[in-house]
Structure formats: structure tokens, C-alpha cells
Amino acid sequence: MRVKSHQYALFMLASMLLAACGASEPAATPAPFEPIVTIYAPAASPTATRAPTPTPQPTPTAELQAAGPVSDAPAVVNGQADGINPFTGLPLTDPAALRRRPLLVKVANTSDVRPQSGLNSADVVVEHYSEGSITRFTALFLTNAPTKVGSVRSCRLIDIELPAIFDAALLCSGTSPGVKPLMRNSYAHRNNLTMISDMGGKECATCPAFRTSDRLPPHNLFANTVRAWEELESRGVNKPSVFRSWTFDPSPPQGKPTRVLNVGYKSGNVIWTYEPTSGRWLKSLRNEKQIDKLTGEQIAAANVLVVHVPHVTTLIVEDVSGARSIEIQLWGEGPLRVFRDGMEVGGRWRRNPQMIGHFELLDVNDKKIALKPGNTWIQVVPMTDIAILTQ
């Protein structure tokens, strides 16, 4: 079902201390609303509506900060108990992780930034069209705290929805002039406009984001999740997420046996291959393995979700080539395919945009689809005009 108007909340972070870091660059019941650090942080108002959108490797290093990969330890079924990560269904052994807000980081996905850093440390990664034919990632961190994630790029319209879905803060390099007023007008009350700054090519060990000298701008901006959480803490908004939508079960489900998933994005087919020995899906782009630069390992996931969503091309120009922004309408419901343990389970996703931390995964009988404990990769695709092949 497609919803044309709705109420929803926007939580976003793109923080930087300009004086310390350099010059700026243009760069379930409903839970109570509580403002967090965002690009446009609203005052408490769960009823404001959004303005309409116009339409027409290397060895692991200290950068991983002793976080390590997502554990495959046994999990409590459904992930609702205290001490369980609501995004992975796995125990949270780090006391700090129990108290902090999940952090979303916007990561580029073009040939000049691959291999990216830190994606295998994320609990959830959402891959979606940015504009034109290219895709971009939004990676969620709670379990692990890598100090180099990226490279970081700017937000898109979908990043109005994702922080509300996961009840998370967001870090990105800014927005386009057309997206900026939509973010501002999404709430009746707003304050605390904070943008990530241009570090002028200098390293910055104390900043939520920093520039490196090994790449040319704008591809040399990286996030430090440790510093980002410190920034949230300093603002008094580093609070746990209310997200509890997903359930988890280590037992393999009944479904269609599947070993290969091929998602036909215009920029290149994303191919997931199931590896029975590890019980995980391995990611390739076309026929080339996608690698996490921090670990030198192929990107892997316990679960892969294919989420079909209406895509509407807007009048917002995102880059110098004239490519227009896409409104990915992640509200209401739509078709869903869940891949885990070498099996495919069909169903639908459902989201009530008036609820914070809400994104349900339902089977054909309206029962919750249980995910495998571990990390999840979400492939957001249009309702039509994209090939989804399995074997």
C-alpha cells in the first residue's frame, strides 16, 4: 500500500567541531519523541508533517578499535531481552553499547572509493539508489566502534526516513540545496544546524569525521564512530534506541533453497553467494568481490533483505551532471524477500510512519519473519524495472 502523506519523525546527525577541526565545507506503542543530534534537530513534536516533495587488502589495524567483527554467538530468540542488540539479536557484551544511540553513517559506493572501510563492522547496511544509476550505503553501528568508516558522502531524501526507522543519529557530509529545505520543513520546530566540516586534507584524531591525505576530496572524508558518540554524549542525547521491530531465531526457516541472489542495479549487479561453511552471504559487485579495507575480508551478511519500495524522481538536482534526487517512499508497506541460511522467505515489509523505530518483516501469513542472529544487509529496490534473480 502506498501512503501519499504521513507523519513521521526525523533524527539525523552530521556533527563536527569546526574550531577544533578546520574550515567548513558547503557541504509496540508509539515511543515518545525525544530530540537527538541531527542535521536539523527538531524540538519535541510527533505530529508535524513533511513538506511535499516536488515530482515531475590490508591487515586489520587499530582503526577497528578492538571492536572486532559481529559475533556469531547464540542469541536470545526475538532480541527483545535486556542486553540483546535489537538490530542483530546478539548479546551486547560492551556496557557502553547498551547505553548509546545507534549511529548511521552515509558511505559512498563509486569506483574511486572502493574498497570502503568499516562496512563489515556495521550491524545493518542499507543500499539504495542515490541518483541516476549509482547506489549509496547507510551503515548502522551499535555493536562495534570502528574509528574509520567511509568514505563519507552527503545525505539523500531516504535519510529522512532511515533515522526514524532505526531511532538513530546520522552522520554525513551535508545535503544538496534542494534536500536541505525539505529536512527543515519536516518539522514545525527545529534547531541545532550542524554540518561536517572540510578538514583541508589534515588528519583529525579527535573529530567525529576527518580528512585523510591518501585520497582526493571529496572522497577523503571518514567517520570516527567513537568521536561521534562522544559528541552525542556531550549534547546529552546519546540514548538507547526504541527499535524493537525485528525478531531473531538461529534455527533455519522453511523456504525456497537459494544459493545465489542477483540484484540488477543499473550501476552493476550486486551478487550475494551463500557460503554453507560459514552460514553467511558473500557480496560481489558484478563479478568482483567487495572487500572491507579495514579487515581485507569480503563483505558478508547473516541476512540479506530485498525491500521493494516506490521510487519517485523529484525536481531536486543533486550534482553538476543534472542528476535528480529520488524520493524512496519507505512508508506504508511493500513486497519483501528475506535470504538467510541458504533459504528465501517471501512476505512484505510494513512501516507505520507515526511510530519511531518501526519496520516490520512479515510472511504471507502476517507472522513476523525471524532473522538469523547477526548482521543484515538491506537491498532497497524499485517496485519495477529491476531484475532480481536467484538460483
* CATH, residue 267: 3.50.90.10
Predicted confidence band at 63 (pLDDT cuts at 50, 70, 90)? very low
pLDDT at 210: 75
Q: Is the pLDDT of residue 332 over 70?
A: yes
pLDDT tens figures, 154-189: 888 898 889 889 988 888 887 777 787 776 665 333
Cα 306 off chain centre by: 14
Evaluate whether residue 199 is within a structural domain. no
Count of domains for the chain: 1
Cα 1 off chain centre by: 23
Evaluate whether residue 356 is within a structural domain. yes
DSSP 353-368: TTSTT--EEEETTSPB
pLDDT tens figures, 218-260: 877 888 898 888 888 887 778 889 999 999 999 999 999 999 9
Tell me which amino acid residue 215 is.
R
Evaluate whether residue 266 is within a structural domain. yes
Evaluate whether residue 148 is within a structural domain. no
Scored b (16 or more CB within 10 A) or e, 320-342 reads eeebbbbbbbbbbbbebbbbbbb
Question: In percent, how much of the chain has pLDDT > 90?
Answer: 40
pLDDT at 336: 97
Predicted confidence band at 81 (pLDDT cuts at 50, 70, 90)? low
Q: Judge whether 211 and 201 are in contact, CB under 8 Å.
A: yes
Q: What average pLDDT does range 55-84 have in this prediction?
A: 45
- ∠ CA 217-223-228, nearest 5°, is 140
From the list 90, 98, 97, the residue with the least C-alpha distance to 72 is 90
Q: Is the pLDDT of residue 4 over 90?
A: no
pLDDT tens figures, 109-134: 988 889 988 999 999 999 999 887 88
pLDDT at 329: 95
Element (H or E) spanning 180, and its range? Answer: helix 179-185
Evaluate whether residue 51 is within a structural domain. no
Q: Is the pLDDT of residue 338 over 50?
A: yes
Evaluate whether residue 81 is within a structural domain. no
pLDDT at 195: 35
Q: Judge whether 237 and 11 are in contact, CB under 8 Å.
A: no
Evaluate whether residue 343 is within a structural domain. yes
**Cell numbers that stand for 157 in this block:** 531524501
Mean pLDDT of the residues in the chain? 76
Cα 155 off chain centre by: 11
From CA 331, how far away is CA 310, in angstroms rounded? 9
pLDDT at 78: 43
From CA 237, how far away is CA 193, in angstroms rounded? 15
Evaluate whether residue 85 is within a structural domain. no
pLDDT tens figures, 349-372: 999 988 889 999 999 999 999 999
Predicted confidence band at 204 (pLDDT cuts at 50, 70, 90)? low
Domain residues for the domain of 376 are: 247-390
Q: Is the pLDDT of residue 37 over 70?
A: no
